[in-house]
Structure 1
Amino acid sequence: MTDPVNTLKHHNLPELLPNLRIVTVVDEVENYELKPRHFRKVINNNPKIKGVIGLRNKCKLNLRHIEMIAMNHMVNFKKVFRPDQLKQIQFEGFHVHYLPEYVEYFPSLKRLHICLYGGSRYNGPNLSKLKILEAYVSGWDEACDKFNVIDYCPSLESACICGSTDDQSIDISIKNYNLRDLVIDIPWIDNMNWSSIRKLLTKFPNLNHLAIRRSGEVEDCHVEELVKLLPQIKLLDFRESVGVTVKSADFLSKFCLKSNRSIKIYYDCEKEPDSWPKYDTPRESIVYGFDFMKHCFYKSFSRLPLLIDDQINLLE
């Protein structure tokens, strides 16, 4: 095998890979240890590269062209990036205390994927341009609304929240009329009763697509209430929520016929129709096209993509 250092050193990668936009920084290739200097020529001299996966805090690279990162929490981000530079962030572990500082420094974020922990609600600047929010929220006080970050995202169109909340924590005075796609992914160790789910959904009156995963509370009897609560709903996905069965599909068939509405429903069944989109297929680290329904809606949180390139895949 050719020495990877020689490969990076002696070849003009921008010419060899003219469409390269995202680079994954790894620590070793077939037991060969790689250091930051091995990546400098690839990243520093190629303004077409817009995304980096796997950065480390001590990775000394010139990231002036980078708009998308996927990594652990970067403590020295103000020394590495210009204000308003990043458009997309994916963090594996992140204390809610640090989020306001990032939001203030990067006000043009379009997608934020974070695993939040800590003991308090988010209380900081608005994420005014955010379109996609994906958050796993753990370690908060049980009485804390783990969905409250949405209240600070007035332009949000799509969200996947892995967490739960209760009636008393939800602020129904704050509505989001732009949210079209919502996945409520309830961890197995948590619970969220139907009353809390219903109250939460009143905040998003223009929802088109709703998925509720791993709920032990949502049942067939609640589907009729849902379609009345959400007049714009077009798709309901209850896979992994065992209380919804074919009875709901039968109800919706009759309801749509009478009301002249079209609503699709997916649920757990022995023989899932081939026409249904597959649920929780293997993770793709990088996907192309800023399309939450295509790339994220049918995924569990752990299988969401690391980065979404908003340009089309030039290789397709």
Structure 2
Amino acid sequence: MSKELNFDCLLNIFQYTNRFEDLVVYSKVCSKWRIAAFYRLSQIKYLSLEPIERPNEDCLISKYFPPPQYMVYSNPANDNPTHLFHDGLLNYPSRRYLKELRNLRIVDIGAKNSFSGNLSEFLMKNREIKGLIGTPDYNTGKFLDKIEIIACYTLNWVNKPMNLKQLHIEIGISSDFSIFQDLLRLHSNESFYNCLRPLTNLKILEIGTSIQCGYAIIDSCPNLESAYIFFRAKMINALNKTNLNLRNLVIQNTGLGQEWNSLRAILSRFPNLRNLAIRGNDTLNDHHVRKLLDMLPHVKLLDFRGSRKVTKKSASYLVDFNKRNKRSIKFYYSSKKAESLTWPKIIKSHEKICYGFDFMENCFFRTFQSLPLILEPKISSHHR
């Protein structure tokens, strides 16, 4: 009976199949099922070799990975999902079906490197792959020349990919990131200052730091537009340069937070800020919010969620300020009533691949620990 299903019906059913091994099984039923299964494989952009899991929505993913790594749907309700999962090692004969993944863009090789030593061969045969999640072995380096996006634990290859556009790395304190002159987005959970040349193309920077000179890397990024700083320090050294391009800034604090005089010196270097979040800072109060409004003439959004001394008084002041100055500044602070009425949709998900190279849409309202591994650029129609 199943063989008599209309071909279009088969295609629709297979669109909801997100396990590689299931499609392999379906392809063996008959020639019609084989064609439908192979068509489904040809639509896949993201392949994960990790088990299909979702962390608890209320938990934070550990800053260290692997293990585990999570790659879940950017939109689980999508009628045409482009993610595929495979549990376990890609053993022969299942590996031969990988050639049907003609539009594959990103591969999560898994914490255990499920290619079992054959990743180099796979990359050599699939030159359209642009992104890797996980830490390849040393022998893979020579096949990374086409890779533009990497999310890994540390840089440990002899042959590094020189065409990187995005790098999400957990440990990189001794690396010279300026060798990647094409970088557009850089994420590191450790402080790094070994930049021998400016990162002139960098647009998005996300850095976690526990030492005083955490902002120093921004001086090496003259065209930076968005920054996410996760601080574990109270006093931060000021910048040496003014950045006129920075539009979006998130400062997530632990402990008491960065002190006002230090923060003021830093923010004075970003006169064109549009969107500013200072979260978890208990050294700031309502008085400082007024000072920030005087400092930042172009600001459109202020987010003080988690900064407990910023209260309803600031929200009320903003209403009057907007009326007097014909502005429309959005303001978020910690209040159950404000949360229910005015907060944006809080991103608690742990989607590690987000569609679109857009900091405000995919990064600004997240915690540092849940930032995406990859921002998948939109592809023009003639590349699809």
For normalisation by structure 2, the TM-score amounts to 0.70
- % identical aligned pairs: 37
Task: Look up the match of 1:116.
Answer: 190
Matched, 1:86 2:164: yes
Structure 1: 5+ residue stretches without partners: none
1:103-252 equivalence runs, <5 A: 103=178, 105-117=179-191, 124-138=196-210, 140=211, 144-163=212-231, 164=233, 166=235, 169-171=237-239, 173-188=240-255, 191-252=257-318
Shift of residue 197 of structure 1?
1.1
Q: In the alignment, is residue 277 of structure 1 matched against residue 352 of structure 2?
A: no
Cα pair 2:187 2:207 within 8 Å, conserved: yes
Question: Which string of whole-angstrom CA distances, capped at 9 and with x for unpartnered residues, describes residues 139-189 of structure 1?
Answer: x3xxx321111111000000001124536x213x5100000000011123x
Whole-angstrom CA distance in 2 between matches of 1:87 and 1:246: 42
Deviation at 1:273, TM superposition (A): 2.9
Higher strand residue share:
1
- Other-structure match for 2:104: 20
Displacement after TM superposition at 1:28 (Å): 5.1
- Alignment check: 8 A CA contact 1:289 1:312 kept: no
The structure that has the greater radius of gyration is 2
| 1:295, distance to aligned residue in structure 2 (A) | 0.6
- Number of matched residues? 292
Please tell me whether the aligned partners of residues 27 and 35 of structure 1 are also in contact (alpha carbons under 8 angstroms).
no
- Are residues 275 and 192 of structure 1, via their aligned partners in 2, closer, same or farther at CA, if it must alter by over 3 Å? closer
Distance of 2:203 and 2:336 partners within structure 1: 36
CA distance in 1, matches of 2:342, 2:334: 14
The answer on whether the counterparts of 1:194 and 1:218 sit within 8 Å (CA) in structure 2 is: yes
Moved over 4 A (4+): none
The higher-RCO structure (CA 8 Å, 6+ apart) is 2
Provide closer, same or farther for how the CA distance between residues 106 and 52 of structure 1 changes in structure 2, counting only shifts above 3 A. Answer: same
Could you list the runs of 5+ residues in structure 2 that have no partner in the other structure? Answer: 1-20, 26-88
Asked whether the equivalents of residues 53 and 69 of structure 1 are also in contact (C-alpha less than 8 Å), the reply is yes
Contact 1:133 1:158 in 2 (8 A): yes
RMSD: 2.4
1:47 partnered with 2:127: yes
CA distance, structure 1, for counterparts of residue 112 and residue 164 of structure 2: 27
Choose from 320, 332, 336 the match for 1:266.
332
Name the CA distance, whole Å, in 2 between partners of 1:27 and 1:183.
Answer: 30
Instruction: Report the residue type matching 1:187 in the other structure.
Output: T
